[in-house]
Amino acid sequence: MTLTIATSLDDILAGLAQGARPIAGGTDLVVGSRQGKGSLPDTLIAIDRVAELNTIDVGADATRIGSGVTHARLMTDTTVVEQFTSIADASALVGSPATRNVGTLGGNVMNGSPAMDTGAPLVVLGAKAELASTSGTRTIGLDELWTGPGQTSANEDELCVALVIPNRPTASGSAYVRLEYRRAMEIAIVGAAASVEFDGDAIGAVNVALTAVAPTILEVTGLNGIVGSALDDATLAQVAEIASEQAAPISDLRASDKYRRHTIGVMARRAVDAAARRAAGEQIAVPVNRALGVGAVQ
């Protein structure tokens, strides 16, 4: 097998067109191969030194986050923390400092795990994935991208080069919380992201997406009923009920389906509450799990 270190996006796309597979931090690919989940691809192209993939560009209508931006940067970058806070919440929970130093947003998204932490935040923020190949670039919704556990609709010769997120309205906030059994090197038992926008004192818009309760990240539907309501206990209880109803969890060694179905409601409720508090101007430090003591205790 061979590994080439790319220095430009053109290098990468030419390599992929000839059958090479991309590697950034290797925190899924190399770890997976050492666990025996699969062998390493015969031809690898390292994409982590390409400057074009490592930018965060704030445009007039949308912000473009390069797929090579690491979790360590996402959890501290001012734009991400202030505007797309749920992504920072999620990135701060990924693995350990070592994982976050080399693990990337694009890697998390394209690995396609239903337990990916950045996925639910990206969904509630309305992100789209920009895919490039030697034949051109296309931008698709995440619901179109993720087709099953570990599966995406991207062609073999396509690289996810960026996630494009609409800029945020005023009086809005987002948050990501997850259930975890320990504070580091953890994978979500379940998790929930929420985005809330206020219209005066009432909820103007609300989006919720769920982690690790379906074959892909699950966007909750049917929340229109609470638009126009005040954010009170009854509203939050409704969010929890709807999220639990729509979840389609499995039982595995980490949790039973019943436990996941119950706790996803709790996480959804907490995510909406934290997002709303941020939308109202409260400063809740990243990650919400630590600031509010939502996750594992020490």
Partner 1 sequence: MSTPSNRTLNAVELQVNGVAYPVAIETSRNLSGVLRDEVGLTGTKEGCDDCECGACMVLLDGQPINSCSYLAVQAQGREITTIEGLADGDDLHPLQRNILAMGGVQCGFCTPGMLMSATALLERNPTPTEDEIKIGLSGNLCRCTGYAKILDSVAATAVEIS
Residues binding partner 1 (CB under 8 A): 1-3, 5, 23, 26-27, 30-31, 33-36, 39-40, 42, 44, 46, 48, 72, 95-99, 101-102, 183-185, 298
The CB-of-21 to partner 1 minimum distance in angstroms stands at 12
Closest to partner 1 by CB, 99 vs 152, is 99
Tell me how far apart the alpha carbons of residues 76 and 120 are, in angstroms, rounded to a whole number. 19
**What is the Cα–Cα distance from 295 to 298, expressed in whole angstroms?**
10
CA distances from 114 to 2, 62, 251 (A): 30, 26, 14
Go through 98-137 and write b for each residue having 16 or more CB atoms within 10 A of its CB, e for each that does not. ebbebbbbbbbbbbbbbbbbbbbbbbbbebbbbbbbeeee
Which residue's CB is nearer to partner 1, number 27 or number 244?
Answer: 27
Of the two residues 35 and 221, which places its CB atom closer to partner 1 in the complex? 35
Least distance between partner 1 and beta carbon 194 (Å): 24
If the CB atoms of residues 123 and 188 are measured against partner 1, the closer one turns out to be 188
User: Count of CB atoms within 10 A of residue 19's CB?
Assistant: 11
Q: Least distance to partner 1 from the beta carbon of 161, Å? A: 20
**Could you tell me the smallest distance in angstroms from the CB atom of residue 93 to partner 1?**
11
Residue placing its CB nearer to partner 1 in the complex, 17 or 40:
40
Shortest separation between residue 44's beta carbon and partner 1, angstroms: 7
